[in-house]
Amino acid sequence: MQSIISLPVRLQRLNPRRLVSLMGWILCGIAFLLVAIPLLDILYVIIKDGLAAFSVDLFTQVTNGISGGLLNAITGTLVLTAGALIIGTPIGVAAGVYLSEFGHGGFSKIVRFLGDVLTGVPSIVLGYFSYVTMVVTLGWQFSVLAGTITLAMMIVPYIARFTELSLLQVRHELREAGYALGTSEIRVVARIVFPIAWPGVLTGILLSMAISVGETAPLIYTAGWSNYLWNGHLIREPIGYLTYVIWSFINQPFESAHALAFAAAFLVIVAVLLINTGARLLLKRPRNF
């Protein structure tokens, strides 16, 4: 930046090395613009067309495919996300605790590695797996449970790794002090380690929440779609969600359906960006340990 600010001065005394260096910085700046401009354009387009489609009906009416609101999709996304966190958080946090506190052996190494691999499995593969097993073989059909379990499979490794990393940052002496006083393992984790490490854990959970809100591919063949509000059944009852509206309604021959697609995209992107920003602010907060 320094070299960019003082550009005019430097131009007067250019030599080949300076020129190459300057070019280098300019290219880096262009690279940054190449990334920033599409993001800003995505936000601009979605916000412009999304806001144009806004109305009170979006939040009070269920959709009937070509008009109405998005209440069923909004609540459906909330239910699926909450369900994924209810299943995924305990497992992820437990795995993270185990790996950080007791994970010295070969088993933990393998789990850590496979957790990394699991995050790399394409989400459509997870969706197809759930379709074959839960939807078809177990006969749950398109259901909240099949959708949430699929999402949970995606987010568990994230929560586990965030939990492990933030717990590992707690100084070892604190734990040893606890154990020296005869405190049980569970109390050391709960009373000493967690109070210090929770922001990192929460960041992992928030990021997982953002992933759940924005996913489409693993839900198409597991959660299905519904025009109505969820009636509380875990299986044999499909449910709506916002990302489906984006993907499906843009292919309809009605302007009103396109408007709903953009409104849904607006809601999804606002939710995802807010959660992401919150999570990162939390992580970057100064820590006192």
Partner 1 sequence: MKKYLSKLGSKPIACLCAAAVTLLGVAGPMMGAQAADKVNLLETGSTLLYPLFNLWVPDYTRAHPDVRITTQGTGSGTGIAQAIAGIAQIGASDAYMSDGQMKQSPDILNIPLAISAQTVNYNIPGLNKTHLKLDGPVLAGIYSGHIQYWNDAAIRKLNPGIKLPHQMIIPIHRTDGSGDTFIFSQYLAFSTPSWNNSVGYGTSISWPAVRGGIGAIGNPGMVQASQQNPYSIAYIGVSFHAEIAKAGLGTARLENRAGRFLLPNPRTVGAAAAELVAKTPADERISLIFAPGEESYPIINYEYAIVNQRQANTRVATAVREFLLWAVDHRYGNAPKYLNQVNFIPLPARISELSIKQIKSIH
Partner 2 sequence: MKISIFRLVLLCLTSLIPVALLAILIFLTHYSWSAILFNGVHFLLGKTWSLGNLYANPVMVHGLSVPVGANYGILVFIMGTLVSSLIALLLAVPVSLGVAIFLAEGVPPGSRPVLSLIVELLAGVPSVVYGLWGFAVLIPFVAHHLAPDLAHLLGFIPFFAGPVGSGYGLLSSSLVLALMVVPVITATVSEALQGISREAKEAAYALGAMRFEVVWKAMLPMIRTSLIGAIILGLGRALGETMAVLMLSGGALNYLPNNIYSPISTMASFIASQLDSALGDPTGMAVRSLAEIALVLFLIAVIVNVIARLLTGGFGRAVHN
If DSSP states are collapsed to H, E and C, what string results for 169-227?
A: CCCHHHHHHHHHCCCCHHHHHHHHHHHHHHHHHHHHHHHHHHHHHHCCHHHHCCCCCCC
DSSP 8-state symbol, 135:
I
DSSP 8-state symbol, 230:
-
- What is the rounded CA–CA span in Å between residue 196 and residue 188? 12
Q: Which is nearer to partner 1, 37 or 82 (CB)?
A: 82
Tokens 């699926």 appear where?
80
- What is the rounded CA–CA span in Å between residue 149 and residue 55? 33
Identify the residue among 82, 114, 121, 273 touching partner 1 (CB under 8 A).
82
Task: Indicate the SS3 state at residue 55.
Answer: coil
Identify the residue among 22, 43, 78, 111 touching partner 1 (CB under 8 A).
78
Scanning 5-13, 81-89, 101-109, 269-277 for contacts with partner 1 by CB under 8 A, the matching segment is 81-89
Phi and psi dihedrals of 172, rounded to 5? -65, -30
Q: What is the DSSP string of 69-124?
A: --HHHHHHHHHHHHHHHHHHHHHHHHHHHHHHHHTTSHHHHHHHHHHHHHHTS-HH
Picked from partner 1, partner 2, none, the partner binding residue 50 (CB below 5 to 8 A depending on kind) is none
Residue 128 contacts partner 1 per CB under 8 A: no
Scanning 10-18, 38-46, 50-58, 195-203 for contacts with partner 1 by CB under 8 A, the matching segment is 195-203
Q: Which is nearer to partner 1, 120 or 253 (CB)?
A: 253
Scanning 5-13, 28-36, 171-179, 232-240 for contacts with partner 1 by CB under 8 A, the matching segment is 232-240
Minimum distance, C-beta of residue 182 to partner 2, in the bound complex (Å): 12
Total of residues contacting partner 1 (CB under 8 A): 44
Question: Is 17 within 8 Å of 232 (Cβ atoms)?
Answer: no
Picked from partner 2, partner 1, none, the partner binding residue 74 (CB below 5 to 8 A depending on kind) is none
Binding positions for partner 1, 236-255, rule CB under 8 A: 237-238, 248, 250-254
Q: Which is nearer to partner 1, 21 or 60 (CB)?
A: 60
Scanning 5-13, 38-46, 111-119, 134-142 for contacts with partner 1 by CB under 8 A, the matching segment is 134-142
Minimum distance, C-beta of residue 79 to partner 1, in the bound complex (Å): 6
Q: What letters, b where the CB count within 10 A reaches 16 and e where it falls short, cover 202-224? A: bbbbbbbbbbbbbbbbbbbbbbb
Q: Which is nearer to partner 2, 161 or 175 (CB)?
A: 161
- What is the rounded CA–CA span in Å between residue 266 and residue 125? 27
Task: By CB under 8 A, name the binding residues for partner 1.
Answer: 64-68, 75, 78-79, 82-83, 85-86, 89-90, 93, 136, 141-142, 186, 189-191, 194, 198, 201-202, 205, 224-232, 237-238, 248, 250-254
